[in-house]
Structure 1
Amino acid sequence: MKEKIDCPIYQIKIILSGSKPPIWRRFLIESNENLYKLHQVTQVVMGWTNSHMHQYRQNKLYYGTPGKESESDFGFKTLDEKKYKINQVMDKPRTKIIYEYDFGDSWDHDLILEKTLTKDEKFNYPICLDGAMACPPEDCGGLGGYYNLLDIIKNPEHEEHEEMMEWLGGEFNPGEFDLESINKILKKIKTA
């Protein structure tokens, strides 16, 4: 009978680049998962809806979904994220990779390997440990558009206030972070 070998667990912190106050999450994931699984986890922990293209960047290498568009239009080759494991691109603490989501709004995220842990059987991985602030709404125009939106919705006298509140579908609390809901969704993610 083969002995089960557990892979190390990575504790990763993800920060939405340029956000002030920082929009961030900390989560645990098995280090031998592929980058596509990391993409799925990133979408859930940050609160995105997976409605746009994405890619990873590190040391002039690009990982994502390869295709004609990425190679011919942008002048670089995209490596297949399903063929690369997290531990191949993040192999020691403080290693960073950039995750870009929605090439129009260009949401850049810094993913930083904080530490390597031993697998704990009482946890189902991936799991989110902590975080702060709500994810910006999709299609709001990147970080600049998001901060403009926040200025509009906190000023009921602004000429676009009603329109933006309707676009948001009602209330939006930029300080909200719901760890329990994130972990409920993470439990549903299957191995890619």
Structure 2
Amino acid sequence: MDKFEAGAGQDSLLKIRVELVDSKPEIWRLIELRSSLALDQVHQALQVAFGWEDAHLHRFVTSDPFTPLRPVDGEFPEVRQWLPVQECEEPGDKPEEDCSLERLLTLGSGGAFYEYDFGDSWLHRIELVSRRPADEGSPPALLIDGARRGPLEDSGGLPGYEEIMDALADPSHPDHAEHSAWAADITGSDAPFDPAFLDIAAVNRALAEQF
């Protein structure tokens, strides 16, 4: 039986693992979401889970958008992507408001990708871990586990973020003071920036407020 057939037609809780592609050490979240959530709601949940600020464009796709396409019968297949309805411009663009998490994962055979900030290109791999029936008291979104805080906004993608983290970790680094001031401005705190910190309880409080 296909893993999506069980519970078809009723709301389920999908446990998904979301990792920031190519992050080392790995930045990941294990989060439980209602299968009926539309992708614009999944977007909001992922923003909270990774500490993003929803300051940039985003999209959902069923396969790695940076893997070269192979022609089928001499033609390249249409790339489907789900975006906010106001951002849909190309023939393959679909409104994220009209697609559920269940549907996305079905189309992606249990996996999908979420890209946030097309400049820094924070690419998240989404994988279905398990499903269970939803009960009346189940929250729409719940962070179960994870590792490390999400990168700072506008830090230049993973290469830029890693350079900033190297500078912050070394007081003798020529850019230490500059990057420390920048991190304090971004986070609103003068406390030393700890890339390994993740407050799951705080994330779940924020998710409860969001949903």
Report if TM-score (shorter chain) is over 0.5: yes
Structure 2 distance, partners of 1:32, 1:152, is 43
Letter in 2 for 1:154: A
- 1:31-65 deviation line (CA, Å, top 9, x unaligned): 01111110000000111111111001115210012
Among 129, 136, 147, the alignment partner of 1:114 is 129
Counting only pairs closer than 5 Å after superposition, residues 18-37 of structure 1 correspond to structure 2 as 18-37=22-41
Deviation at 1:125, TM superposition (A): 2.2
Q: Is the 8 A contact 1:93 1:116 kept in 2?
A: no
Q: Is the 8 A contact 1:94 1:112 kept in 2?
A: no
Deviation at 1:8, TM superposition (A): 1.0
Structure 2 distance, partners of 1:114, 1:34, is 19
Runs of 5+ consecutive residues of structure 1 not aligned to the other structure: none
Q: Is the 8 A contact 1:134 1:177 kept in 2?
A: yes
User: Structure 1 residues 154 and 76, CA, compared in 2 at 3 Å: closer, same or farther?
Assistant: farther
Aligned equivalent of 2:172: 157
SS at match of 2:153: coil
Runs of 5+ consecutive residues of structure 2 not aligned to the other structure: 1-8, 64-78, 185-189
Q: Is the 8 A contact 1:92 1:113 kept in 2?
A: no
- 1:81-129 deviation line (CA, Å, top 9, x unaligned): 0001111111399711110000110000001111111224443221110
- 1:111-164 deviation line (CA, Å, top 9, x unaligned): 111111122444322111000001110000000001111111111111110010
SS at match of 1:50: coil
Structure 2 distance, partners of 1:6, 1:188, is 25
TM-score where L is the length of structure 1: 0.88
Deviation at 1:6, TM superposition (A): 5.2
Letter in 2 for 1:44: V
Q: Is the 8 A contact 2:85 2:97 kept in 1?
A: no
Structure 2 distance, partners of 1:29, 1:61, is 23
TM-score where L is the length of structure 2: 0.80
Counting only pairs closer than 5 Å after superposition, residues 36-185 of structure 1 correspond to structure 2 as 36-59=40-63, 60-67=79-86, 71=89, 77-91=92-106, 95-169=110-184, 170=190, 171-185=192-206
- When structure 1 is superposed on structure 2, of 142-151 and 85-94 the one drifting more is 85-94
Deviation at 1:188, TM superposition (A): 1.0
User: Structure 1 residues 151 and 166, CA, compared in 2 at 3 Å: closer, same or farther?
Assistant: same
Letter in 2 for 1:65: P
Letter in 1 for 2:120: D
Query: Structure 1 stretches (4+) deviating beyond 4 angstroms?
Result: none
RMSD of Structure 2 on Structure 1 (CA): 2.0
